[in-house]
Structures are given as structure tokens and as C-alpha cells.
Structure 1
Amino acid sequence: MSRSQGPGADVGALLFEALEPVVAGGGLFLEDVSVVGSSARRVVQVTVDLADGPGGVGSDLLADVSRAVSARLDEVEDLIDGTYLLEVSTPGVSRPLTEPRHFRRAVGRLVTLTTSGGTLAGRIRAVEADGIVLEPGEDRPEAVTVPLTDVVRGTVEVDFRRVDDAQD
């Protein structure tokens, strides 16, 4: 759970509290709320995601939650001075994987893990209570479990192959 950093951080935290139940009511998880830009070009950025597990946020669900967020912002208009542009989006592939929930969301994806002992790449097969299971790869004949306590961060790698194709 993240709350805005930098300018507008206090407003971002208040908006987070106001928007979290609305986003959860729409079936999503509120990742972050930030307010950026000058008063003439203020942007309220709301980042939402699935609560857990693999999959994606469909455009219809994102649109529904966007409308609900917009309506809630109209109700708490005193938190934001002046006009603003609302952006509601998902974290995207560039989000660093830092929490167990992030890794569970990336099951089936190709990742690079930065650990206390170096880096390791592979496709996430599963996330267990104590570690991330990577499928066998070109550099290893068997699956490997990387303890969660050793992982500093992970990144999803852009992979244009389907998961079925990658396993052939």
C-alpha cells in the first residue's frame, strides 16, 4: 500500500483513505494515489490492481472503478483545490515487485529477481509462503525456490511469447 510522496503528499494520503473503500468495493486493490503538477496542471493519479493472484484488470472493470473514483472525488472536492485531471490506471509491467502480493500477481510471467546474492531470471511457477518458485530454464534443469527473505526486488521482463509457447 502506497501513499503519495513529494508535493501533495498530505492530500494524497487523505485521498487514499477516501478512495480505498470505493476501489475495494469495485473489486480492486488501491496501490497508490498521488497528486502531481502545479495548481494550473494538477493531476490526480490513482493506481489500482487486482487484489491478488495472476490475471489482468479488464477495461470494463477499470472504467467502472474510474467512474466510482470520479464520483467519490466529487464528494470530497474540498481535498483538492481547483481543477485537476484524473488518471486511473494499473501499475503496468514496469512496476517493481517488492511485496509477496506483487509476486503472486506475476505468476506465469518472466521475471528477474535481485537477491542478496545476485540476480536470477526465470518464469514464476508459484509463490509459496517461504519462497518464489521459478520454472526450469536454459541455465538450470530443475525448478528453483528463492526464499522471499532473500529477494530485494523483482522486475517483470517483457516477453512476447505465450506461456504455452515458452514451455515447449
Structure 2
Amino acid sequence: MRIPERLRHMIEPVVDGLGYELVSIEFDSGQRILRVYIDKEEGILVDDCSRVSHQLSGVLDVEDPIPGNYHLEVSSPGMDRPLSKPEHFARFQGCLVRLQMLRAVDGRPRRLKARIVGVSGGAEVTLQDGEDLFSIPFDLIEKARLVPEFEKISKE
């Protein structure tokens, strides 16, 4: 589910003002959980999450953008971090990503896994699956997460 721009415009200035990057926002309507993923170059600690949560709670209580009760979770994006902006795809060029699109594109399934090749002007993400190179319009990407890759350690 795409987060309404009003919510993003409310949260992003608070997160930026505290010196963090807003990576992504998710709302789980079934469990009534608002998840805010933050990052910074040095990485995220529990104290960082607590600091952002405290500041966001005040703003969200006053603005009341989500009707009814919900829980706020602030966390680091983790190894399988969500990619929600064209800049994220550019930063993680060469990495494997799992995508869910709003609809099938060029006969491809809505859900797929491919390697990020690049981003064209923020409008399209170029991906590679095996030898197959293709582009997906950024606005058709519903969800995207990095796929952690671990080197195999052989026992010799």
C-alpha cells in the first residue's frame, strides 16, 4: 500500500530534522501498526529509534493522521531494507531486489526478483534477470526490498 503523501510530508521533516534519513513508511491496517524505517551513515541504534519515536509521537498525536488507535514502530531498515525512492535504487545498484508491482509489466509477473542495473532520471529502474535486461517505471513499483546475499563459506 502506498503511504499517503500527507503522512510522508508530516513524518519526513521530523526525521530529517533529527539528522536521519527516512527510508520508508508502512502501515499495517490489520494489526494497526505504523512502521517508520530510518537510517544514517553510521547505522542505527536503539537510542536513535527511541529519539525519533518520541518526536514523531508528539507530532502524530497533534495531527492525528490515522483514525483510531495504532502502534508506532521506528526501526532500522535491516539487511532486507525497503527501497522506496529512486535514490535508494541508485545507491544499491548491483544488488538483488525483490519487487512487487501494481500490475504486470510487459508480460512479467507482478512479483519478481532481479538485480538492479540502474535508474534513468528517477522515472525507470533498469533490472537484470539472468541475461534478460528490462526497465520498470518507478511509479508502478508497489514494494521493493533488498535480498541479502551471503557468500558461501567453504570448509576446507
The gaps in structure 1 that reach 5 residues or longer are 5-12
Partner-residue secondary structure (3-state), 2:137:
helix
AA aligned opposite 2:126: I
State the match for 1:134 in structure 2: 128
AA aligned opposite 2:137: T
In the alignment, does 2:6 pair up with 1:2? no
Q: What is the deviation of 1:87?
A: 0.9
State the match for 2:94 in structure 1: 108
Q: What is the deviation of 1:22?
A: 1.2
Larger strand percent: 2
Larger helix percent: 1
TM-score, normalised to structure 2's length? 0.53
Query: Which one has the largest radius of gyration?
Result: 1
State the match for 2:44 in structure 1: 59
Would the aligned equivalents of 1:28 and 1:49 in 2 still touch at CA under 8 Å?
yes
Partner-residue secondary structure (3-state), 2:115:
strand
C-alpha separation in 2, matches of 1:150 and 1:85: 29
Change (3 A) 1:90 1:146: farther
C-alpha separation in 1, matches of 2:89 and 2:12: 22
In the alignment, does 2:65 pair up with 1:68? no
C-alpha separation in 2, matches of 1:118 and 1:83: 39
C-alpha separation in 2, matches of 1:30 and 1:98: 7
State the match for 1:89 in structure 2: 75
Q: Which moved more, 1:73-82 or 1:99-108?
A: 73-82
Partner-residue secondary structure (3-state), 1:118:
coil
State the match for 1:161 in structure 2: 150
Q: What is the deviation of 1:155?
A: 4.7
C-alpha separation in 2, matches of 1:34 and 1:133: 27
AA aligned opposite 1:27: Y
Instruction: Work out the number of aligned pairs and report it.
Output: 139
State the match for 2:37 in structure 1: 48
Would the aligned equivalents of 2:38 and 2:74 in 1 still touch at CA under 8 Å?
no
The gaps in structure 2 that reach 5 residues or longer are none
TM-score, normalised to structure 1's length? 0.50
Partner-residue secondary structure (3-state), 1:58:
coil
Change (3 A) 1:124 1:76: closer
State the match for 2:11 in structure 1: 19
Partner-residue secondary structure (3-state), 1:29:
strand
